[in-house]
Structure 1
Amino acid sequence: MFHLSMPLFWRVCLINGAVFLLGTLALALSPATVSAQPLLSELVVLLLGLTVIVLVNGALLRAVLRPLDRLTTVMARIDLRYPGLRLDEAGSGPARELVRGFNAMLERLEVERSTSTTRALQAQEAERQRIAQELHDEVGQSLTAVLLGLRYFMDTAPEPVRAELDALRDTTRTSLEEVRRISQRLRPGDLTDLGLVSALAGLARDTSARNGPHVRRRLPSSVPDLPPETELVIYRVVQEALTNVVRHARATTVDLDLSLSDDALVLRVADNGVGIRAGAMGAGIQGMLERARMVGGDLSVRSHGGGGGTEVRLRLPVPAPVLGRAGS
């Protein structure tokens, strides 16, 4: 194990020294001689010997430094948003310790990024809950009080003023509905009160009702008992996917499918819009990817192009005991 723990600098020096020593011994023990004025044949022998030394030295150094070339290539491809890329330690030769250290560093970075992302998303959800509660308790109640006051004054106001108060009441009622809608998006009460399937159906109805594309949903009557974090991830992925469709896709129809395979729950949101650019990674898509990884899921976003639209697919592994309870 000594050669594995030796610094790379000393390995290179050792290889060069060994090659030069062997070359010197070969010249010293060979019958070749060099005249005071070297002959052409002697120069040819010296040139051949030098060529052999250089080639052997290059081959040995190449074996040591090749993993560094692979390391440089991998470093250029590293993207912590797509974890799992590693160098092969088995084929690294003398640079195995360097490769092992690099892989360990990547592992730590991915774990730290995953942990920090999870904390950030949890903090985001907590902040959404707080804002939604304040909208409901303060802004919502204030607007409700305004509506009641307008109704009282309309009963006693003269006819010309009553028409203006009626218009103001309509504006206030619209604002109250908008506040309630924003509060619902921030804190999906349907998810807690009615369950995942009903909450997804509500998202689909709301999207179609707001002059959005027609959402064709194929949802099961029930799903296995899932952790609240997993249900929230599914809800947020559908919410973000439908929001992207409304804002960017220029689609007329969207398919929302949720199905249970042998070992996984598969969610699919596909539209017939303009698609997305290759390699596009906005904050919305990145957020969906991070949420999926939080619960061990696998999310992909594919664009069919040419009017074929975009497909968001989320696959979440479901433990066998949960599947057993769902089937019983």
Structure 2
Amino acid sequence: MSDLRSDLSEMESEPFQSSGSEYIVNEKVSESDDTEPEEESAGSVPPKGKRVKANKTNKIKDYFIIEQDPKSKKTTDKQGKCTLCVVKNTVLKMKNCGTSSLRRHLQAKHTRVYENIFGRSSPHKSEAEASASSNRRSTITNWLEKTTSCSENFQQDKFQKLLVEYIAQKYLPFNFFEDAISGKMYKFLNPKATLPSRNQMKSLTLKTFAAAQQTIKSFLKTCNSKISFTIDGWSSFNMKGYYGITAHFIDKNWKLHCILLDFVPAHGQHTGNAIAKLLQFYDVTKCIQGITTDNTNSNFTFIRELQTHTSEIDTKISTLYVLHTS
């Protein structure tokens, strides 16, 4: 009995020293069985013991609705619906009940919540983290390698056709691409691109227009019905007068077509002669159903000129004159 008392007195006199491992063992026993595995987050303060880690995991789950993954047969595969995403219904996969995807979502989309749980990220990264981050980033070399195929597939003729369409739709002059900055810009986009001069641009435009005329001419030959024409005068930006000639007809499928044939410059009485020659060029003088014009003198000349060219036709050309009110 005296020996036991001496032992107790010795234990009370000696100070208790612990490295902390005793607490960690006790914490492990007190943990619940459903604690999810989690990998260390980049830049966060390393946790001291599993109690701190489990607390952070539980805090992460507070912002998600955890459910069973319907696409997985494993009971350990879950999915989490973010309760902070109001507009978009965000559902994240949780393989083996892991919360890494949830943590990354909070770090990317809800920074304040993430910092409340893990604290602010350290501005200094380890060499391994920096190396992994640089591998994920796309470099200018990788970008140039991807664009090499685009440069190899470049076709100058298609590029020139697009330039003609661009000039026509934007009402631009033929010398629009002759300035130095335009050349630098297109060379930056593709070193193989060559911009045409004003004379080349004019030649390309006339060539494209001639090809479009032949396409329209071939299409009009397939028309089995009569064709009605409207002739309307208008002024360009530089106040030059033109007459637009449009053909209207219905095909065999009862689909209405309205095709602009050409713009004829307004030159007084000579305009009627130019319009008559245009209809002859498209070979549609035998298909005329009616012509709607305004009551200018050039249109009277056009009708008389057209009658001289179509005198051999038995059918009578029906002409409707309407007052141009615009």
Give the TM-score category using the shorter length. under 0.3
TM-score under structure 1 length normalisation: 0.26
TM-score under structure 2 length normalisation: 0.26
Q: Which has the larger radius of gyration?
A: 2
Tell me which of the two structures has the higher relative contact order, counting C-alpha pairs closer than 8 angstroms and 6 or more residues apart.
1
